[in-house]
Amino acid sequence: MAVALYTHHDMFDHRPGDRHPERPERLRSVIDALDDAALDLAPNDAPIVDEADLLRVHDKAYVDEIARLAPASGRAVLDPDTSMSAGSLTAARRAAGAVVQAVRDVAAGKANRAFCAVRPPGHHAEPGLPMGFCIFSNVAVAAHAARAAGFARVAVVDFDVHHGNGTQAALGGRPGLFFASIQAWPMWPGTGHPDDAAPDNIVNTVSPEGAPAAVWRKAFEALMGKVDAFAPDLILVSAGFDAHARDPVSGGSQSLEEADFAWATRAIADVADRHARGRVVSSLEGGYDLQALGRSALAHVRALGEG
């Protein structure tokens, strides 16, 4: 099965700092790994997101403030973890635009599986707050766009090592939307524990820090049981690879390898095959060891293409 790939060279121009973990080389490692594997990919340029799509999730005042703060040179610090350079606004708009366009192409029957190689990531950005390297909530914006495109039941599966607090804030309590997330615990940002109060359409599960991959797999399998019960007609994936054993940001708090991400992808595809005619749109979130990131993204996209 061909996998539609959405990316754009403008995303290399988001430069939050020379020593920042969310650096342009991350995207290069993913693109190079996919290129070297000679996969059956259908490349697409990521467009600039329409403001109307951003406003499905983000406050108008927030969108305007991000545009105002975008620097012509140097850097603007949004929070202790999140900065913008001269190319960041365009990169962020294309990152969100990539996932929205992928959803619309899937809705139109132009693709069935898609991977969005984007940066900056998005799942920590809340409706009115940048956070955790994220400016716009890429997958959440796309989930709302999917509903507008006619999908009745849209599920987001997030397997980043950190909880997607921004996605939860954007999807919680919204009809036709479902958020299922697995994250290490305890782990920044300190949200997403199953005991925390959450709307009925939010399901969180955790894997303890230092747990072996088998523990993570068991928790993910149970999580996917909840997604299966929701019976989505489209699945979006926040594909973070920072649960990899080599990841420097998570400190190796999880023990996953490329094979675990491929296994998880197949579990997602199985649910999509049962309920959604196989339709899956995935978007890159975290992952900060360049070698592990490239190999993990390749394993993920290869599994997406297995049909």
Residues tagged active-site? 124
Start-to-end Cα distance in the chain: 5
Q: How far apart are CA 30 and CA 17, in angstroms?
A: 20
**Cβ atoms within 10 Å of 59's Cβ, excluding its own:** 14
Side chain identity at residue 229, one-letter code: A
- Alpha helices by DSSP H, the chain: 24-36, 51-54, 60-69, 88-107, 138-148, 165-171, 213-230, 258-275, 290-304
The residue length of the chain stands at 307
Spatial contact of 173 and 142, defined as CB atoms under 8 Å apart: no
Side chain identity at residue 276, one-letter code: A
Q: How far apart are CA 77 and CA 291, in angstroms?
A: 28
The CA-atom distances, in angstroms, between 209 and each of 17, 119, 187, 188 are: 28, 26, 8, 12
The CA-atom distances, in angstroms, between 95 and each of 99, 137, 151, 265 are: 7, 9, 21, 21
